[in-house]
Amino acid sequence: MVDSGSALVDRFETSLAPDPVSAGVARRFVRDHLDENRVVDGWVDTAELLVSELVTNALMHAGTGIGLAVSVFVGAVRVEVADGNPAHPVRRPAHETATTGRGLEFVELFSDNFGVIDSPSGKVSWFGLGPAPALVAATGPSRQSVTEDYPIVLMGVPLALFSVWQQHASAAVRECMLMSFSQEPHSMQATVVARANDAIGALSRAKPAFEFDEPSSREHADLLLVAAGGLASQFADLKRVLGETVSLARHGTVLVPPAPPEIIRFRDWVCDEVTRQSDGAAPVPWPEDTPATEISIDVHLMQWDVADIAGSSEALIAADDSNRILAVSDSAGELLGWEPRELVGRRIITIIPERLHESHIIGFLRFLLTGQPVMIGSPVTVPARRADGTEISIELSIKVLPRAGGRTAFIAALSPPP
pLDDT of 76-114, one tens digit each? 899 999 988 787 776 655 444 443 444 577 788 888 888
Does residue 275 sit in the same domain as residue 178? yes
185 shares a domain with 81: no
- Considering the entire predicted model, what is its pTM? 0.67
Confidence (pLDDT) at 37:
83
116 lies in the same domain as 158: no
DSSP 3-state assignment of 177?
A: helix
Residue 206: its pLDDT value, please?
78
Same domain? For 107 and 158 the reply is no
Are 206 and 101 within one domain? Answer: no
**For the chain, which residues score pLDDT lower than 70?**
1-6, 90-103, 136-150, 181-187, 209-218, 226-229, 289-303, 405-406
The verdict on 200 and 91 lying in the same domain is no
Give the model's pLDDT for residue 89. 72
Distance (Å, whole) CA 128 – CA 107: 10
pLDDT digits (tens, 9 = 90+) for 268-286: 999 999 999 988 899 999 9
Looking at the structure of the chain, the number of domains it has is: 3
In a domain, 291, yes or no: no
Q: Which domain holds residue 189?
A: 151-210+217-279
Residue 140 belongs to a domain: no
The span from the CA of 340 to the CA of 84, in Å, is 57
CB 39 within 8 A of CB 77: yes
pLDDT at 295: 46
DSSP track, 204-240: HT-EESS-TTS-TT--EEEEEEEE-TTHHHHHHHHHH
The beta strands (E) that lie in 34-161 are given as: 66-73, 76-83, 113-119, 122-129, 135-136, 150-158
Are 267 and 314 members of one domain? no
- Considering the domain architecture, whether residues 330 and 270 belong to the same structural domain is answered as no
* Structure confidence at residue 289 (pLDDT): 65
257 phi/psi in degrees, rounded to 5 = -65, 155
Q: Do 267 and 157 share a structural domain?
A: yes
- Identify whether residues 344 and 268 lie together within a single domain: no
Which stretches does DSSP call E strand in 130-185? Answer: 135-136, 150-158
